[in-house]
Amino acid sequence: MVFSMSSRSYFIADVHLEREDSLKRDLLLSFIRMVEQSGGDLFILGDLFDYWANNRGVMEDNRVIFDALARLTRNGSTVGFLIGNRDLLLGRKVLSRYGIEYWGEQKTVAFQGKHLFLTHGHLLYTNDIAFQRYRRTKWPVYRVLDAVLPGCIENALAKRFMLKSKQVIESQESWRLQFSEDAIKDAFAQGCELIICGHSHQAMVREYDGNKYFIVLPCWTSLKGGYLAMEQGNFQVKDFPEDEG
């Protein structure tokens, strides 16, 4: 899929917004204002929220974020959203209200002269067999329950799901909790030049074959957020706010 994008694009992942963390929320709002002032596009590669459930309470807790993203789209920026393992219940119906494009779990796009494979990153943990099985069998069940349960029960269930998901991940051998080299090479074999994801919470830029790059975005804290800036085909992983000096 080819996009006519602005000259600047920004990529973030693993913000993990929590209801009580006003500092992180304010930091994200400042970042969105920076993107808006630059006239750039924003791509959110999953786990924007620590958990998501489709009810009034969760929507109200995060409305200020959606309003800020809606301003971006009204000003002509593209905002694309890929779901992660924490916000898997967030879908097209909610995002479209704010002009945000829902891109599922992975997306291949071409812009700024590059072919990009975008995903949250959990799909590249192919050796994590227990989690992949959990994703295939339990995620559809949670989506059905999300549509029919009252908000208070739904929120408790979503939190329980996040805890269970974490337990499933932590029960695996450490070597399984890594990006699969075979999955990375398979993505490059499809013709992409950049793979951009999050999920591991550890920033990484790894070069393959001299002109292909596997890029992992850092997670956010209440004081600092990591992002990838891309302009005219060139990219750089940066901190927000940037260190002075």
Which tens digits make up the pLDDT trace of 133-180? 888 998 888 888 877 766 666 677 776 766 666 666 666 666 567 899
- Indicate the length of the chain as a whole number: 245
Flag whether 157 is in a domain: no
Domains held by the chain: number: 1
Tokens for 91, please give them: 């879908």
DSSP 211: T
**At 86, which helix (H) or strand (E)?**
none
**Pair 119, 187: CB distance under 8 Å:** no
**Pair 197, 217: CB distance under 8 Å:** yes
Confidence category of residue 76, pLDDT binned at 50, 70, 90: very high
Flag whether 78 is in a domain: yes
pLDDT at 2 > cutoff 50? no
pLDDT value at position 175? 58
- Here the CATH number for the domain that contains residue 236 is 3.60.21.10
Task: Identify which of 121, 111, 81 has the alpha carbon closest to the alpha carbon of residue 99.
Answer: 81
Flag whether 79 is in a domain: yes
pLDDT value at position 177? 76
Flag whether 169 is in a domain: no
Per-residue pLDDT of 98-118, as tens digits, reads 999 999 999 999 887 889 999
Flag whether 69 is in a domain: yes
Flag whether 229 is in a domain: yes
Per the listing, tokens 């000003």 go with: 75
Measured CA to CA, the distance from residue 101 to residue 41 in angstroms comes to 12
Most confident of the ranges 5-19, 93-107, 118-132, 165-179: 93-107
Beta bridge partners of 235: 230
Flag whether 112 is in a domain: yes
Flag whether 217 is in a domain: yes
Domain that holds residue 31: 8-123+194-240
